[in-house]
Amino acid sequence: MSDETAAAPASAPTTRRRRGALTFARDVVVILVIALVVSFLVKTFVVRSFYIPSASMNNTLLQNDRILVDELTPRFGDYSRGDVVVFRDPGGWLPVTPQAQRPPLVEATDWLLSLVGLSAPDSDDHLIKRVIGTPGDHVVCCNALGQTTVNGVPLEESYVKLSPGATAPEPFPYDITVPDGSLWVLGDNRNSSKDSRYNQEQPGKGFVPIDNVVGRAFVITWPFDRFGLIDFHHEVFAGVPAPESAP
């Protein structure tokens, strides 16, 4: 028996171990790729992460809160009065601010994290407000008590942040009817929100096209002590009639 023949059996376990390691590495790569693809699809079509860049929705949402947005609603359902929605700037709502240069490694990391919904680099390019009027609604501010009315019904807006000692937000008179395919939105921090009221001179006249809406915010995920569902306060609008039956 030659030396080569005698050595062959001894090398077989080494070969099997090498093949086993390669198979394990391949399986790990496949699992990671599948996880990334699933995360990307969920982020693109189901839920998406945003952070709150301003105080316009206090006290429902606080600055730097992180939220999840349901992206299925714009595809399979309608928006209701009271929903809290994230939308792209309809034009002229946000100031133009130059983006600071960041190191390429930071940009690449942020981009990768955004693919799976762990980062929200475009939050500053979006706005978040509460839906007050849906297509056909007649929205007016304000009645003698300073209340907003929708289709003739005054709203008891328990979620609105008031100044100390105030019983209603500072009035900002308007009288509008929401066109088809649009929403009328206001911030809960009514005295500190550049919302539909303040953008009536823009091309969109303060209305938000439904096509611009990314989705409905439904849960606060960070900080942990604020974790929980976002209250839409649909009961505030329970007595509002449909536009065609409004008085």
- Mean pLDDT score, 164-192: 94
What's the pLDDT score for residue 1?
45
Average predicted confidence (pLDDT) for the chain: 82
Q: Are 25 and 31 in contact (CB under 8 A)?
A: no
Name which of 137, 129, 139 is nearest 195 in CA terms: 129
Q: What is the pLDDT of residues 64-79, one digit of tens each?
A: 999 999 988 766 778 9
Q: What is the pLDDT of residues 183-235, one digit of tens each?
A: 999 999 999 999 999 999 999 999 999 999 999 999 999 899 999 999 999 99
Q: Indicate the DSSP class of residue 226.
A: G
Report which of residues 174 and 1 the model is more confident about. Answer: 174
DSSP codes joined into one string, 2-70: -HHHHHHHHHHHHHHHHHHHHHHHHHHHHHHHHHHHHHHHHHHHTEEEEE--SSTTTTTS-TT-EEEEE
CA triplet 126, 129, 133: central angle to 5 degrees? 125
- Mean pLDDT score, 150-162: 96
Q: Are 162 and 169 in contact (CB under 8 A)?
A: yes
Q: Indicate the DSSP class of residue 200.
A: T
What's the pLDDT score for residue 118?
52
The residues that are catalytic are 56, 129
DSSP codes joined into one string, 181-197: TEEEEE-SSGGG---GG
Is residue 83 over pLDDT 90?
yes
The band of 17, judged by pLDDT with boundaries at 50, 70 and 90, is: low
The band of 5, judged by pLDDT with boundaries at 50, 70 and 90, is: very low
The band of 85, judged by pLDDT with boundaries at 50, 70 and 90, is: very high
Give me the residue spans of the domains in the chain: 49-103+123-245
CB atoms within 10 A of CB 241: 13
DSSP β-ladder status, 148-150 and 153-154: antiparallel
What's the pLDDT score for residue 2?
45
The Cα 29–Cα 19 span in angstroms is 15
What's the pLDDT score for residue 9?
54
Q: Indicate the DSSP class of residue 155.
A: P
Of 95-99, 159-163, 226-230, the range with the lowest mean pLDDT is 95-99
What's the pLDDT score for residue 166?
85
Peptide bond into 212 cis (omega under 30): no
Taking the model in full, what pTM does it have?
A: 0.78
Please name every residue paired with 215 in a beta bridge, in sequence order, or none if there are none: 86
The CATH number of domain 49-103+123-245, selected from 3.40.50.300, 3.40.720.10, 2.10.109.10, 3.40.50.1370: 2.10.109.10
Q: What is the pLDDT of residues 98-118, one digit of tens each?
A: 665 656 665 555 555 554 455
Report which of residues 20 and 194 the model is more confident about. Answer: 194
Q: Are 168 and 147 in contact (CB under 8 A)?
A: yes
Q: Are 55 and 129 in contact (CB under 8 A)?
A: no
